[in-house]
Chains A and B, each alone.
Chain A
Amino acid sequence: MNLKHTLAGLMLLATLFSCSKDNETNFNADKQGQVKLKFDNIVGGKTLVLSSYNYSNGSNEQFNIETLKYFISNIKLTNTKGEIYTVPKKDAYFLVDASKQASLFPTVKVPEGKYQKLEFTLGLDKETNILPLEERTGILDISANDMYWGWNTGYIFFKMEGNSPVSTAKDKKFRYHIGLFGGDKTPTKDNVKVIQVDLTAAGAAEVKENLSSDIHLMVDLGKVFDGPNKISIATNSTVMVGGPNDLIADNYAGMFRHDHTHNFQKLSNE
């Protein structure tokens, strides 16, 4: 190979590089692509397998998990220009249920763009909790999912149940049902949590029409016991409307970590 050829080759390479850079920012905000949120439930570093694996917490208590469900709502994404896109409220209600594989990957439609911040509510806000009956359809149907308190109007935001030898319940189960939206006309405790996830470090979400950007989140349920607050199963085997539900909610607000993003995925890809 002579010098001329080498030079030509280098120039071609340079052009290619700059081209691909240009392509990267070529988003059309009038078009929409898909964002898939992948909720990968784990306990500490161990995969969540319902009614199977044994786990332990920081108080050295052994437990397993039989039921895990939580509501996700009010999804927002912020692009690199700082513009916030809010997914229409009605299209952003999801119930993540560890016993239903399909529920672990909610998808939403988002305008094309590069997004560096994800925000969602863990639970359901006041507006949703006071909806008129006729608007409570789909996953908000009060007769579906076992995620609604009839006697203290409101949805259960987060439900985790399992077995533990240290439980003080007769059946040796622990049951954490966390709700309370702040009350309608008269206030109550408020456990609605808004979760912010920075996507810059592990990969921004690049949304293109007919493609999916898959945001993979690790959800560490160990944090329920070992977050800012220590929760022990022996001391608190049942926490629902009574008990330290606010401390548990503070804990689980910190259980989401962005692991990576797979951009430009085919839509059928699971």
Chain B
Amino acid sequence: MNRKALLVLGVILLTVIACRKADDLIEEQLLAFVQPAHFPEPLYKLASNPITKEKFELGKKLFYDPLLSRDNTISCGSCHISGHAFTHHGHDVSHGIDDRLGIRNSMPLMNLAWNETFFWDGGVIHLDLFPVAPIENEVEMDEKFPNVLKKLNNSPEYQNLFQKAFGSKEITSINMLKAMSQFMLLMVSDQSKYDKVVRKEATFTTEEAAGYSLFKSKCSSCHQEPLFTDHSFRDNGIGINPAGDLGRFEISQLPNDKLKFRVPTLRNLGYTAPFMHDGRFRTLEAVITHYRREVQATENLDPILRENMGISLSDLEVQQLLAFLNTLNDETFIKNPLFQE
């Protein structure tokens, strides 16, 4: 072998090694839970479920596996589509097994490590306990949780994956749910223009800045920054729907919870239409119109909205507000291949 050839070989080898390193680095970076500096501490105790590549990948596989439904047709991913911030885009209420319709609008999945509760009514209190609910819901996956565990335990492929991830091929409620949490925990959305402005990496346009100050005076008492929710249950006066859904009351059975729903985040609204718990508003403009003119004096209407029976905004202010809301869309999150099937 002559010197030239050796040199070429050396360069190739170096490049390969360098590439490897870079790949590994990217993988490691993506597979850690990175606390955004401008977010509060997450409520989820990450120390109780340390993220590993094997567990994350396993959780992802489970999320996209229709085996979790009664007739093996519906996966979590059927209703939670990554390109739409994990909502069931185009459906006001979600479509489940046998085309059965639910009564609620599928929720976006993001920043779940900070949730105090889950669902529009806060019925579930911890992410680790969450997947049992859609699995057993008869209009969603209509399967029995113990049966899902049985199906998984009968699969040599899953036994192998659990062995690799947890060091035991026995699939229990605990390791199965912990793996699913890992996939959902990493769905952190913190790369919107708003986030960049907060981090001083970008600046608002004049219109967006005007919208931001309107937002702070008219909306942020409920849609609190930086997660754009204060996690509370409130009645924003949209009134009861034909399904008679009473929201938080369905869980608590306390009369003063009637028609209260969890304040949703306003991140990624550009991808998650339609809006509200039953998807009754097809556009953001329609939502703003509600706050301006259509608030109903229901029994538990939030005092903030009762004061002026809504929120007064001029046409110009509406445009400014919409421009600001637009800065909450996070394209990096939506396009992240890490979450795609």
Residues of A within 8 A of B (CB): 130, 132-134, 136-137, 141-144, 148, 150-153, 180, 183-189, 241-242, 245
Contacts and interface: CB of A to CB of B under 8 A. Distances in A.
Given A132-B126, A151-B133, A152-B123, A143 B251 contact: no
A214 to B, nearest CB: 34
Interface in B211-237: 233
B252 A186 contact: yes
A120 to B, nearest CB: 25
Nearest to A145: B146
Interface of B: 45, 48, 116-117, 119, 122-126, 128-129, 132-133, 135-137, 145-146, 149, 172-174, 177-178, 233, 248, 250-254
A148 B126 CA distance: 14
Contacts of B123: 151-153
Contact of B137 (A142, A143, A151, A188): A151
A150 B135 contact: yes
A160 B253 CA distance: 21
A257 to B, nearest CB: 30
Contacts of B119: 151
6 contacts: A133-B178, A142-B132, A148-B132, A187-B254, A189-B254, A245-B253
A142 B178 contact: no
Contacts of A133: 126, 128-129, 173-174, 177-178
Nearest to B135: A150
Nearest to A148: B132
A224 to B, nearest CB: 19
Contacts of A152: 123-124, 250-251
Given A133-B177, A134-B48, A242-B253, A143 B124 contact: no
Contact of A186 (B48, B117, B135): B117
Contact of B174 (A137, A183, A189): A137
Contacts of A141: 172-173
Contacts of B173: 133, 136, 141-143
A132 B146 contact: no
B31 to A, nearest CB: 21
Contacts of A180: 253
B261 to A, nearest CB: 12
A245 B250 CA distance: 13
Given A132-B48, A153-B123, A189 B252 contact: yes
Given A151-B133, A153-B129, A134 B174 contact: yes
A27 B253 CA distance: 49
Nearest to A153: B125
Nearest to A129: B125
Given A132-B128, A137-B174, A151 B254 contact: no
A188 B129 contact: no
Contacts of B45: 132
Given A134-B174, A150-B133, A184 B125 contact: yes
A143 B146 contact: yes
A142 B126 CA distance: 13
Contacts of A130: 125-126
Contact of B250 (A136, A137, A241): A241
Given A136-B173, A143-B146, A151-B137, A187 B178 contact: no
A134 B173 CA distance: 9
Please indicate which of the listed interface residues B129, B172, B178 has the most CB atoms of chain A within 10 Å of its own CB: B129
A143 to B, nearest CB: 4
